[in-house]
Amino acid sequence: MKYLIFILTGILFFGCLPKDNSALYNEACDLENRNEFNEAIKILTKAIEIVPNDIECLNNRAWDYYELGDFKNAYKDFEEILKYSKQNTAGLYGIAFLKYKEKKYQKAIELFDQIIKLKRLETVHIEWKTSEFETRGPLEANMEKVYHFRSLAIKEQQTSSKKSNRCASP
């Protein structure tokens, strides 16, 4: 009898869980538009619990963490994206952007170059489902931003190189 109650409870509990996290994702987007990043993170975390491989939810949560200055958790989410899709340009862009912000210009440039190479080869065809019935579509890096921050990283790297050469003794 105990087992029967346990099994029925499990069926009721897991049977009642939503199979689609789109409503949560949309709610989080509304919160992000109002700069309520802590609340958006909470909602996205719930959405990710429902669909753990939802790359768009992971991406949004990573950017929310970035907005709050929490690079550690932002990195985790961008890396989680790459776990599900190794050549996902949005995940690579997020990591490259964080490297740029941390003034790790060489690593940022390498990652930006990797994105450019992937896009040129047109090997990136990312499809992921938010539920068994619906797809939001591929999540890819904005190439305009990739080129922009790549050029900024190169300039910063050259500037910091010139500064260190001026300080070097003859």
Q: Where are the domains of the chain?
A: 20-164
- Name the residue among 92, 90, 128 with its Cα closest to residue 107: 92
Does the structure show a pLDDT above 60 at 122?
no
Residue 150 pLDDT class (50, 70, 90 cuts): very high
- Which percentage of the chain shows pLDDT scores above 90? 64
The highest-level CATH class for domain 20-164 is: mainly alpha
Taken as a whole, the chain contains a residue count of 170
Encoded amino acid at 5, one letter: I
| Cα 130 from Cα 49, distance rounded (Å) | 12
- Cβ proximity of 92 and 129 under 8 Å: no
- Cβ proximity of 128 and 84 under 8 Å: yes
What does the block give as tokens for 24? Answer: 């949560």
